[in-house]
Amino acid sequence: MKQQYKYRILLLVLMTIFTFSCTQSTTKNEIAKQETEVKNDPLPSWNEGSSKKAMIDFVTKTTNEEGADFVPVADRIACFDNDGTLWSEQPMYFQMAFALDQIKVLAPQHLEWKTKQPFKAVLEGDMKTVMAGGEKSLAELMMATHAGMTTEAFDASVKQWIKTAIHPKTGKHYNEMTFLPMVELLNYLRSNGYKTFIVSGGGIDFMRAWAEDAYGIPPYQVIGSSGEYEYEVKEGKGELMKIAELNFNDDKEGKPVGIIRNIGKRPVFTVGNSDGDYAMMQYTSTGTGPRFGMIIHHTDSIREVSYDRDSPIGKLNKGLDDATKYNWLIVDMKKDWKKIYSFEK
């Protein structure tokens, strides 16, 4: 009886070891399979089709040293707009959402805002009055929340906001609203020797606070609109203060200017989503040698927002009209993107 019991125990142990071994083997096989799939498909959130093929074909031919379209590593410059291209921009630019929230945070220090427009409207939640003030009102709000502090203090306030503020439609934090297919494209380009830059009309200090975590793009590869700075020494420490003066507007025709000032080379690969990116894409596409221009067309009204020619934000009119002229690829968000955000099921 004892002998049988010993055999049963031995059999149970052997079966457990065998099962564990098989489970480990299966897990390793699954991991290997996933790694192979990623290697074979660097853009898994893109549906198979002409758009995905065009990107992969371009990268393949420009990195083939024996091909006629080979581009040296030093010249592999890829520029991306941010708002509407790398993350969402509706129902308002996210930087404006930050400014509105900061008005409420700073209000106790500015009692005059209770009676002064457009601050009074912001504090009362009257967005109709805020928007009725046009660019002048919006500029006042931006200057009030983006100046009068050190660059470090501003950076900290942006980082805190981006992790805690909630998007009104999705209920997600703003740093979760990046487009997964575009993050994959950035990684794919970098894995093939391309240097990726943000070239945006958004504020340079605002984007630098979170772009590296979101996209893998370091602060020195972010180009954007910028205010003036003033150097001060406080208690023996050098500080840069942000002051309420516009230094450079990196939008529309300003984008090629920002590129040449900060990069010094014409891009080979450029992506935008609105007419604000038209000049940057035109500058890229009219250079010599292989060039790639791509427009993100917001066509998905269910998972994101559908808009183009008549939108007050991210208006896309000239870009659609001249896409064929410059051989720009128009990405249909609804058709081409398997997933838009990483949090999608």
Contact 129, 118 (CB under 8 A): yes
The predicted-structure confidence for 143-187, as pLDDT tens digits, reads as follows 899 999 999 999 999 999 999 999 999 999 999 999 999 999 999
First to last CA, the chain: 55
Is residue 136's pLDDT more than 90?
no
Higher pLDDT, residue 296 or 37: 296
Mean pLDDT of the chain: 90
What proportion of the chain, given as a percentage, has pLDDT over 70? 89
- Pairing between strand 195-203 and 77-80? parallel
Give the type of residue at 334: K
The predicted-structure confidence for 63-96, as pLDDT tens digits, reads as follows 999 999 999 999 999 999 999 999 999 999 999 9
Backbone angles phi, psi at 45, to 5 degrees: -90, 5
Give the per-residue SS3 of 241-286. EEEEEEEECCCCCHHHHHHHHHCCCCCCEEEECCHHHHHHHHHHHC
pLDDT category at 11 given cuts 50, 70, 90 is: very low
List beta partners, residue 227: 246
Rounded to an integer, what distance in angstroms lies between the CA atom of residue 129 and that of residue 302? 29
CA within 13 Å, CB half, 211: 26
Rounded to an integer, what distance in angstroms lies between the CA atom of residue 197 and that of residue 200? 10
The predicted-structure confidence for 298-332, as pLDDT tens digits, reads as follows 999 999 999 999 999 999 999 999 999 999 999 99
Contact 266, 259 (CB under 8 A): yes
- Tell which residue, 208, 202, 257, has the closest CA to residue 225: 202
